């Protein structure tokens, strides 16, 4: 998306004191200087402008605001040693494609995170800094990142510690040290149910952090946690994707699944089954498609007789579905930031489900895909803006298409 509000267009009543002391230097929350009403108004204007550029007939845009702070159920922090102490923070000033010139900003709080997440980060830092020789002085193992995840009610906690190493086999002592670390943390954080180590290759200027594939290492406790949404318990493995706004997930789930019934539904890019689990109560059969691990494994373990999990890319699945002449009553798709793309949209057009519900994290990709789908006979019945990322310029939307 283009940058938010031109500074010259900001009215005095739109300004507010940023709630985070790191605003500006961090860069992760670009809109904290604006009131929440101004943020929402700006995002709605940007989304409308983008959708109007498609030339399609547009229904009224419906807004779904969020509590503006403490909404994230997952954060991923960068770790670095400063003056002999491990600190957590974010990388700023880096090239988004190559990460060639990152600078580390240590932080003391993160107001958009659920309170337990930063509390857990502080507890981990304290434990590691008690034994710096064990965790900070090993030339073969460098602490690099920390990811922490909690359910919406903060009743559980999982973390993953990312280490950079050139070792192909980790020393056995690391498992014992990690177990000791987790047990000590458990005394300070009774919500902690499990943790793991993941290894990354040595950092190189030619390697993008965005494309790195971590390898699993030692683990402790449970491999994931149960996340309850609208009376449904979802098993979410530690590193699996799940929507991050703990306040709006129930509302998003209701919009996508409520009042939709039929014989067959497809849930594409299904993740751990956020939508397909709810759709299974409303459709005779649901086919959920996911390729990424560990989400695909969690989806396959769902014990619902009418939910069929398929481990495949959406493109490969649809190529087969077209040949089999499957005609679902509903297709839900929640693609990555790149969107569904022309080939997937062309296959969706051939399948011609009466209703498509498209969950998007990229207005640009959504607009391109809507043009392709509209050319095949779909019309836009509903458009929604879900503010899953308050204080930031990120825009999440839902488009309901019918034919």
What is the Cα–Cα distance from 28 to 13, expressed in whole angstroms?
23
Arithmetic mean of pLDDT, 124-131: 94
Arithmetic mean of pLDDT, 298-320: 96
What is the Cα–Cα distance from 88 to 78, expressed in whole angstroms?
6
* Collapsed DSSP state (helix, strand, coil) of residue 36: helix
What is the Cα–Cα distance from 233 to 282, expressed in whole angstroms?
17
Give the angle subtended at the CA of 265 by the CAs of 236 and 376, to the nearest 5°: 120
What is the Cα–Cα distance from 337 to 355, expressed in whole angstroms?
22
Arithmetic mean of pLDDT, 200-216: 73
What is the Cα–Cα distance from 218 to 199, expressed in whole angstroms?
10
- Banded pLDDT at 100 (limits 50, 70, 90): low
Cβ atoms 399, 76 nearer than 8 A: no
Each residue's pLDDT tens digit, 323-332: 998 899 999 9
pLDDT over 80 (residue 209):
no
pLDDT over 90 (residue 80):
yes
pLDDT over 80 (residue 136):
yes
Query: 């993740």: which residue's tokens?
Result: 271
Beta bridge partners of 283: 262
Secondary structure letter of residue 354 according to DSSP: S
pLDDT at 137: 84
Domains and CATH numbers, the chain: 1-71+245-403 (3.40.50.150), 74-228 (2.40.50.1070)
pLDDT at 327: 92
In this structure, what token pair is assigned to residue 198?
């993941």
pLDDT over 50 (residue 2):
no
Mean predicted lDDT score pLDDT of the chain: 93
In this structure, what token pair is assigned to residue 200?
């990354």
Please report, to the nearest 10 degrees, the dihedral formed by the alpha carbons of residues 60, 30, 37, 333 taken in order.
Answer: 30
User: 10 Å Cβ neighbour count for 36?
Assistant: 18
User: 10 Å Cβ neighbour count for 182?
Assistant: 22
In this structure, what token pair is assigned to residue 239?
């590193």
pLDDT at 212: 77
What is the pTM (predicted TM-score) of this model? 0.92
What is the Cα–Cα distance from 154 to 128, expressed in whole angstroms?
23
Cβ atoms 340, 371 nearer than 8 A: no
Q: How far apart are the first and last CA of the chain?
A: 29
Pairing of strands 103-106, 142-149: unpaired
- Banded pLDDT at 210 (limits 50, 70, 90): low
- Banded pLDDT at 204 (limits 50, 70, 90): low
Cβ atoms 280, 307 nearer than 8 A: yes
* Collapsed DSSP state (helix, strand, coil) of residue 208: coil
Give the angle subtended at the CA of 381 by the CAs of 1 and 36, to the nearest 5°: 40
Q: Which distant-in-sequence residues (6+ apart) come within 8 Å of 335 by Cβ?
A: 268, 269, 314, 341, 344, 360, 365
DSSP string over 281-349: TTEEEEEEEE-STTHHHHHHT---TTEEEEES-HHHHHHHHHHHT---SEEEE---TT-S-HHHHHHHH
Each residue's pLDDT tens digit, 221-238: 999 999 999 999 999 999
pLDDT over 70 (residue 6):
no
What is the Cα–Cα distance from 400 to 381, expressed in whole angstroms?
6
Each residue's pLDDT tens digit, 325-383: 889 999 999 999 999 999 999 999 999 999 999 999 999 999 999 999 999 999 999 99
């Amino acid at each position: 998306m283009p940058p938010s509000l031109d500074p010259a267009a900001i009215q005095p009543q739109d300004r507010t004191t940023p709630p985070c002391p790191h605003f500006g230097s961090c860069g992760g929350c670009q809109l904290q200087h604006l009131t929440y009403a101004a943020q929402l108004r700006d995002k709605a204007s940007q989304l409308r402008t983008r959708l109007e550029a498609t030339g399609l007939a547009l229904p009224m845009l419906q807004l779904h605001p969020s509590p503006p702070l403490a909404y994230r159920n997952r954060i991923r922090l960068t770790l670095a040693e400063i003056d002999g102490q491990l600190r957590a923070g974010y990388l700023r000033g880096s090239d988004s494609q190559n990460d060639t010139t990152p600078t580390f900003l240590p932080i003391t709080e993160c107001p958009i995170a659920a309170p337990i997440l930063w509390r857990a980060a502080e507890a981990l830092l304290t434990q590691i800094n008690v034994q710096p020789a064990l965790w900070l002085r090993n030339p073969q193992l460098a602490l690099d990142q920390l990811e922490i995840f909690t359910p919406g009610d903060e009743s559980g906690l999982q973390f993953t510690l990312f280490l950079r190493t050139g070792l192909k086999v980790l020393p056995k002592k690391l498992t014992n040290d990690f177990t000791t670390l987790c047990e000590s943390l458990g005394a300070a954080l009774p919500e902690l149910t499990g943790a793991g180590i993941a290894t990354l290759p040595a950092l190189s200027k030619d390697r993008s952090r965005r494309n790195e594939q971590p390898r699993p290492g030692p683990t402790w406790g449970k491999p994931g946690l149960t996340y309850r949404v609208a009376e449904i318990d979802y098993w979410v493995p530690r590193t699996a994707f799940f929507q991050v706004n703990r306040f709006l997930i129930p509302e998003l789930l209701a919009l996508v699944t409520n009042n939709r019934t039929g014989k067959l539904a497809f849930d594409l890019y299904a993740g751990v089954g956020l939508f397909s689990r709810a759709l299974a109560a409303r459709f005779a059969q649901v086919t959920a498609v996911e390729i990424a691990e560990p989400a695909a494994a969690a989806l396959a373990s769902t014990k619902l007789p009418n939910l069929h999990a398929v481990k495949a890319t959406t493109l490969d699945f649809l190529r087969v579905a077209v040949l089999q002449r499957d005609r679902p009553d509903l297709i839900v798709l929640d693609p990555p930031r790149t969107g569904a793309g022309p080939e997937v949209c062309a296959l969706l057009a051939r399948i011609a489900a009466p209703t498509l519900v498209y969950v998007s994290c990229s207005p640009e990709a959504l607009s391109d895909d809507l043009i392709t789908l509209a050319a095949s006979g779909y019309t836009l019945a509903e458009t929604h803006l879900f503010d899953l990322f308050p204080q930031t310029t990120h825009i999440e939307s839902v488009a309901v298409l019918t034919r």
